[in-house]
Structure 1
Amino acid sequence: MNSRRDFLQKLAASVIAFPMLSTEAISCIENADKKNYDGPPLRVAIMGLGSYGTRVADAMRDCKRARLVGVVSGTPAKITNWQSKYNIPEKNCYSYETFDTIKDNPDIDVVYVTTPNGLHHDNVIRAAKAGKHVICEKPMALNAKEGQEMVDACKKANVKLLVGYRMHFEPKTLEIIRMRKDGELGKILFFQGLSGFTIGDPTQWRLNKALAGGGSLMDIGIYSINGARYMIGEEPVWVTAEETKTNPQKFKPGVDETIQFQLGFPSGAVASCLSTYSMNNLDRFFLNAEKGFAELQPATGYGPIKGRTSKGELTQPHITHQTVQMDEMAGIILDGKQPIVPVDGEEGVRDLKIIDAIYQACSTGKKIALK
């Protein structure tokens, strides 16, 4: 890992070399490295100590406004390992059986839920009832009904609910959104989102209907759904979709292998997207408009993101996504900061409504209207 001094030197060089960095991108960078921030940190407990929880924990080492202080896990050995690795005190460690007592711990502000999709609903509601703010990984729930119940529970408990949309803080992504908002691309006409990879171990939870809620669409396809919305800047009004399954032994009933789906928007713009667990080299967004285009490839991976527009290459520097995300979410929770692209529970429900409609379109073969 580079030292902070090396990081700042590279950042300075980037700003000098590329003076046209957008305001949004520069804001993200500044928030990721605030030299003089001396206010209270956002004190985070991670629930679910798997691979992604570990990625978030490692990224938080470089945060200026967020600090990992607690863990929740059903595996005692993982808790012991994390205590040593991240210097977590015993009083901030919980099992799923003891989790509800977190309500009596004033040293934890927020619980970050990184458990399998099928557990999100209950985990989030338990955290809210314990009086803790919640960050939940995407998809927020198995369907829109569950998602709305989570939103309602957090509102009732007067706690914030955020969703782990790390791309909403990514500088190259934000630059394209700025260009679209400022009219530099003109009327938006078309979006293409390709999201997929070849999944491995057939026994993993992502291929378990009860835990995953589906297949590729719930895991990787949600990036194209969400991307279509923030790239076009509208909410879709209709959906069509078709599922393809070539390996029914690996992809059991209810676990989708590949789905092609289309979204229609009020302005007349359309999106054509692919979600798959059976093809690699699929991480691309393309936005076509009357005055130009924008492309990201890779578009949603852990980085660095690469992109270009009709005006040239995007040159905003890469910072670990989860580091930026957690510092920005600290600002949202502690200061009431409003992000450029929403990351609240309502945003998560919007994606879930589209996912519900895509699955309905696959099963019926019909064009589904979105309310």
Structure 2
Amino acid sequence: MNTRRDFLQKMAASAMVLPLMPLAGWAKDLDRYDGPVLRVALMGLGGYANRVADAMQACTKAKLVGVISGTPAKIKDWQSRFSIPDKNCYNYDNFDQIKNNKDIDVVYVTTPNALHHDQVIRAAAAGKHVICEKPMAVNAKEGQEMIDACKKAKVKLLVGYRMHFEPKTLEIIRMRKNGDFGKIMFFQGQCGFTIGDPTQWRLNKQLAGGGAMMDIGIYAINGARYMTGEEPVWVTAQETKTDPVKFKEGVDETIQFQFGFPSGAVASCLSTYNMNNLDRFFLDGQKGFASLQPSTGYGPIRGYTNKGELTQPHVTHQTVQMDEMAGIILEGKQPIIPVDGEEALKDLKIIDAIYLAVKTGQKVALQPV
């Protein structure tokens, strides 16, 4: 396993891509860390992969070393930008050969949702740990198969829940666990934006597995769970579609959904591709409250509680996420909120239930976890 000290000099040549961190300070931070480094290959070189790659330049425990893409021009560009050697570049046909590459520890899958299942299973079969963007799969059945495949291959499966490491979010969770809000009664999660290009993959059911719920709604689902600290036992849901041309069959435009929790707390959430200014979490207890707005955007997150404004500093989410995930994979660290495949499977089961509730108009019971 390489250490950060081993490749410090090699990385200095690419330091010019770090717009927010002076070279001297960056090198000083790297020099303080002399532990194992997680060597990452990114699969799918779209917009989010670019964000992750840029953020990783400030990591101390994780390093971008490889790419997997179906577009040769993108690979060449990334090689130039991030000093990636030819031997660490693959396409979707030959990336199984990554099993022979000892310089790559983990594959981070950032492709469209419907591709995650097969790509994660292939990466696991090649003996590599896997980080998969959320939603992990398009349904719970596929998610379970991915978990089983990674267990069989004895590799870790993590999911890109960046908010699980966000300081203001974690402070609210600490306060809730400490009893500062008293008995939790209500959670509200509003997640949405007006989506643009009607030809993009997010509006293609075959690639996305759905619509807004599979992209932005999952934040409210996951947030309801970690903010309340409970798992829902029932769900109801209603769909609204105003543009059936843009939002074709199976691609949801707007869904309102409600949860009930074992304690008696309830949640009311909204997922939409047709409204802006929706990025808000609100948690209400008998003794206090917490509000995040924006709650899940790239930052900075802003938060208030009944005790005042939250002032934890903003750090690029993906930088923190990748360093923390390096600790999980290489050192066995346990995050405050899980980010493994089992955590993602819980969200997928709820998504399945929401779609069933929309279809049937009935309250859908969820099995206790």
Using structure 2 for the length normalisation, give the TM-score: 0.93
Q: How many residues align?
A: 347
Identify the match of residue 49 of structure 1 among 37, 45, 52: 45
Residue 270 (structure 1) aligns with: 266
Q: After superposition, what is the alpha-carbon deviation per residue over 1:327-371, rounded to whole angstroms, capped at 9, x for unaligned?
A: 000000000000000000000000000000000000000000001
Question: One-letter code of the match for 2:304?
Answer: R
Runs of 4+ with >2 A deviation? 1-8
Residue 12 (structure 2) aligns with: none
Q: After superposition, what is the alpha-carbon deviation per residue over 1:46-94, rounded to whole angstroms, capped at 9, x for unaligned?
A: 0000000010000000000000000000000000000000000000000
Q: Does 1:300 align with 2:296?
A: yes
Q: 2:231 touches 2:261 (CA, 8 Å); kept in 1?
A: yes
Residue 21 (structure 2) aligns with: 3
Q: Does 1:285 align with 2:281?
A: yes
Residue 240 (structure 2) aligns with: 244
SS at match of 2:57: helix
Q: Does 1:133 align with 2:129?
A: yes
Equivalence map 1:156-195=2 (5 Å): 156-195=152-191
Residue 365 (structure 1) aligns with: 361
Identify the match of residue 351 of structure 2 among 332, 355, 368: 355
Residue 224 (structure 2) aligns with: 228
Residue 206 (structure 2) aligns with: 210
SS at match of 2:314: coil
Inter-CA distance 314–6: structure 2 relative to 1 (3 Å threshold): farther
Using structure 1 for the length normalisation, give the TM-score: 0.92
SS at match of 2:195: coil
Question: One-letter code of the match for 2:75?
Answer: I
Residue 78 (structure 1) aligns with: 74
What is the alpha-carbon distance in structure 2 between the residues aligned to residue 113 and residue 192 of structure 1?
30
Question: One-letter code of the match for 2:188?
Answer: Q
**How far off is 1:4 after superposition?**
5.0
Residue 66 (structure 1) aligns with: 62
**How far off is 1:222 after superposition?**
0.2
What is the alpha-carbon distance in structure 1 between the residues aligned to residue 345 and residue 23 of structure 2?
41
Identity of aligned residues (%): 78
Question: One-letter code of the match for 1:207?
Answer: L
Q: 2:21 touches 2:58 (CA, 8 Å); kept in 1?
A: no
SS at match of 1:192: strand
Bigger relative contact order, structure 1 or 2, given CA contacts below 8 A and separation 6+? 1
Q: Does 1:322 align with 2:318?
A: yes
Q: After superposition, what is the alpha-carbon deviation per residue over 1:86-135, rounded to whole angstroms, capped at 9, x for unaligned?
A: 00000000011110000000000000000000000000000000000000
Question: One-letter code of the match for 2:21?
Answer: S
Task: Give ranges in structure 1 of 5+ residues lacking alignment.
Answer: 9-32
Q: Name the Cα RMSD after superposition.
A: 1.2
What is the alpha-carbon distance in structure 1 between the residues aligned to residue 181 and residue 190 of structure 2?
21
**How far off is 1:35 after superposition?**
5.7
Question: One-letter code of the match for 1:2?
Answer: L
Q: After superposition, what is the alpha-carbon deviation per residue over 1:249-268, rounded to whole angstroms, capped at 9, x for unaligned?
A: 00000000000000110000
Q: After superposition, what is the alpha-carbon deviation per residue over 1:281-306, rounded to whole angstroms, capped at 9, x for unaligned?
A: 00000000011000000000000000
What is the alpha-carbon distance in structure 2 between the residues aligned to residue 60 and residue 2 of structure 1?
12
Inter-CA distance 6–362: structure 2 relative to 1 (3 Å threshold): farther
What is the alpha-carbon distance in structure 2 between the residues aligned to residue 367 and residue 4 of structure 1?
55
**How far off is 1:211 after superposition?**
0.3
Inter-CA distance 175–283: structure 2 relative to 1 (3 Å threshold): same
SS at match of 1:62: coil
**How far off is 1:36 after superposition?**
1.6
What is the alpha-carbon distance in structure 1 between the residues aligned to residue 333 and residue 144 of structure 2?
23
SS at match of 2:32: coil
Q: Does 1:113 align with 2:109?
A: yes
Q: After superposition, what is the alpha-carbon deviation per residue over 1:128-163, rounded to whole angstroms, capped at 9, x for unaligned?
A: 000000000000000000000000000000000000
**How far off is 1:5 after superposition?**
8.6
**How far off is 1:39 after superposition?**
1.3
**How far off is 1:37 after superposition?**
1.1
Inter-CA distance 47–5: structure 2 relative to 1 (3 Å threshold): closer
